[in-house]
Amino acid sequence: MNSAVAPKKLKFMAWLHVIVLCIAASVLALAFSFLWLQGTWVKPELRDQHDAFFFGTIGTEIMPQAAFEALPELFPENFQPLGVEAGDWVKQFGFIHSPENANQGFPVGIALSNYRAKSAAPSPTKFVGFSCALCHTSVLKTPKGEGSLVVGNTNVSLNLFAWIDALQASLLNEKRLTVDAIADVYERKHNQPMPISDRIMTQVWLTGARRNLTANLPKYGDPYGGQGSMSANNLPAGPGRTLPFRTLVRNLFNRPANDMAAYSKLATIYEQNLQEWAQFDGTVRDLLARSSVAAFAAGATIENMKNPEIARNIIRASDYTRTLKGPSFGEVFPSSAASLDQDHIQRGEKLFDTYCFSCHGRRDKATGEWLKGPRQGEVIPVEEIGTDLARVNFRYYNELPDRLYKVFPEDHPFAVSRADLRPGPAGNTRGYLNKPLTSIFTHAPYLHNGSILTLAELINLKPRQDVFFRGSNAYDTENVGLLSPEAPNSEVYFRFDTSLPGNSNKGHDYPWTYQGEGWNESDLKDLLEYLKTL
């Protein structure tokens, strides 16, 4: 009996081996097919410096394109919190509409790629992220409509933290934010069903993003959503500002950092080659190091910044700013420039050379060569300059450089030199860098925290406003800065109170304090006229 069973058993085992081998071969074939297919999803683009700055991904992918397009329609209470009369979500959160037919109809600074968020793994569907142009491009226009798009300055209207809050509030709504809901919007917008690959990737994103957000709620707190996103009490950074160190502390120390008021105006980035230190508080020397840290703070990861296309975009966008020259006052506001008084300008130039040149330098009118001031590039202690100290006095300030240095491995494209980070070998002065003043009229609002609206206030020709409103501010060509209404309206919606932590408008009392010893109104008018020409 055993001899009869044995051949059957052997035959069964042989067939089982064949089946197992076939399954294994099928799995391998599927794996190789998937790897091959992944290779077709991404076609890296070799962008030039300009296109890398405007359109290139820097590792900040957030969500699939289909979800990005659907959210404003699915959650109007979050993405049009001021009501439909205040405009679409682009206007309400201070993004900039692209010129007609540019950037596939997305706002300026929106980058599309086939990389998944955080990992840069290939994706068959487009993901939406940010390019450098999002924060460093702005529209400057007078109440009469004169002005233009300016590249390289602060995006004065962008309220990015409010937009992120609106996104998070929507993400937590599991009943309304589903793949089916997103697919319905997609079909209406594109007149065709949402591809299965898009549905799969959207579901993967939705599951992961919702899980990560929910896990962090006990530490960071719930989003506000609706009009709460726009409240200065809830999200005090407001338009044109960011909290970069809070993000870094959260990522590097795994701490909430909710009590940090280290506000920073979105930087103006003209002619970076003129600066000894790339960061305006003198904490990061190398331009590429600053750019990579900025991308990291904006949502990129150590891992995805290794991706060759993402790394190349960061490098080329940074190189774009090395020689990027800001516009002249006359190019942006020709009618206002036509009335400039040359006698005032000449007298103002002498005052500038007496009181300002030492710290900021200036360009030689005849040769165009930059004339460096003796103290240009020096970090002025906060005790001397007297401006708000929250940016250089927050918890973890001393520990942060070491964490940044260690988080980038030595073989990483953006490995940081410890000598290029302060506090450290180059010093530990807590203060602000004396920077060259290029296209100074575009730098409004002024000081590192954006607490002064106009140059007239900065040089103490006029008293500084203690409370004003920020958002879609029109440009003030007379006082050289931004206009604020007396009360908020559908255009201007953020209350800026300079008495609150991180918002001080004190300090930098050069040439004189307002109506203090030596104060001369006529001289300051001359100086203001000259500053318009820089």
pLDDT of residue 155: 97
Cα-Cα end-to-end distance for the chain: 104
Q: Check whether residue 95 and residue 223 sit in a common domain.
A: yes
pLDDT of residue 444: 98
Q: Check whether residue 291 and residue 151 sit in a common domain.
A: yes
Residues 248 and 254: their CA atoms lie apart, in Å, by: 9
pLDDT of residue 99: 83
CA dihedral angle for residue 467, residue 468, residue 471, residue 472, rounded to 10 degrees: 180
Q: What is the mean pLDDT of each run of 10 residues along the chain (534 residues)?
A: 60 68 59 52 91 97 98 98 94 92 88 96 96 97 96 97 98 98 97 96 97 96 96 96 94 92 95 94 95 96 97 98 97 96 97 97 93 96 97 95 94 94 94 96 98 98 97 97 91 94 97 97 98 96
Q: Check whether residue 36 and residue 105 sit in a common domain.
A: no
Phi then psi for residue 33, to 5 deg, are: -65, -40
- Shortest CA distance to 347 belongs to which of 480, 532, 524, 513? 524
SS3 category, 384: helix
Q: Is 277 a member of any domain?
A: no
51 burial level (CB within 10 Å; 0-12, 13-18, 19+): middle
Residue 481 is given by DSSP the state E
Structural contact between residues 462 and 486, judged by C-beta atoms closer than 8 angstroms: no
SS3 category, 296: helix
Q: Check whether residue 34 and residue 73 sit in a common domain.
A: no
Q: Check whether residue 36 and residue 61 sit in a common domain.
A: no
Q: Check whether residue 6 and residue 96 sit in a common domain.
A: no
Q: Check whether residue 487 and residue 383 sit in a common domain.
A: yes
Q: Check whether residue 7 and residue 73 sit in a common domain.
A: no
Residues 431 and 447: their CA atoms lie apart, in Å, by: 12
Strands 362-363 and 467-471: unpaired
Q: Is 69 a member of any domain?
A: yes
- Shortest CA distance to 155 belongs to which of 90, 88, 80, 241? 241
Q: Is 404 a member of any domain?
A: no
Q: Is 268 a member of any domain?
A: no
* Owning domain of residue 389: 329-393+430-531
Q: Is 23 a member of any domain?
A: yes
- Please give the C-alpha separations between residue 297 and each of 85, 132, 218, 292, in angstroms, as whole numbers: 33, 13, 21, 9
170 torsion bin: left (phi>0), alpha (psi -120 to 50), beta (else): alpha
Q: Check whether residue 69 and residue 107 sit in a common domain.
A: yes
Q: Is 85 a member of any domain?
A: yes
Q: Is 384 a member of any domain?
A: yes
pLDDT of residue 490: 79
Q: Where are the beta strands (DSSP E) in 273-413?
A: 362-363, 370-371, 379-381
pLDDT of residue 257: 93
Q: Is 403 a member of any domain?
A: no
pLDDT of residue 2: 53
Residues 38 and 349: their CA atoms lie apart, in Å, by: 60
Report how many domains make up the chain: 3
Q: Check whether residue 339 and residue 206 sit in a common domain.
A: no
Q: Check whether residue 243 and residue 354 sit in a common domain.
A: no
Q: Check whether residue 25 and residue 54 sit in a common domain.
A: no
Residues 154 and 265: their CA atoms lie apart, in Å, by: 7
Residue 116 is given by DSSP the state -
- Please state at what angle helix 196-220 crosses helix 179-190, rounded to 10 degrees: 130
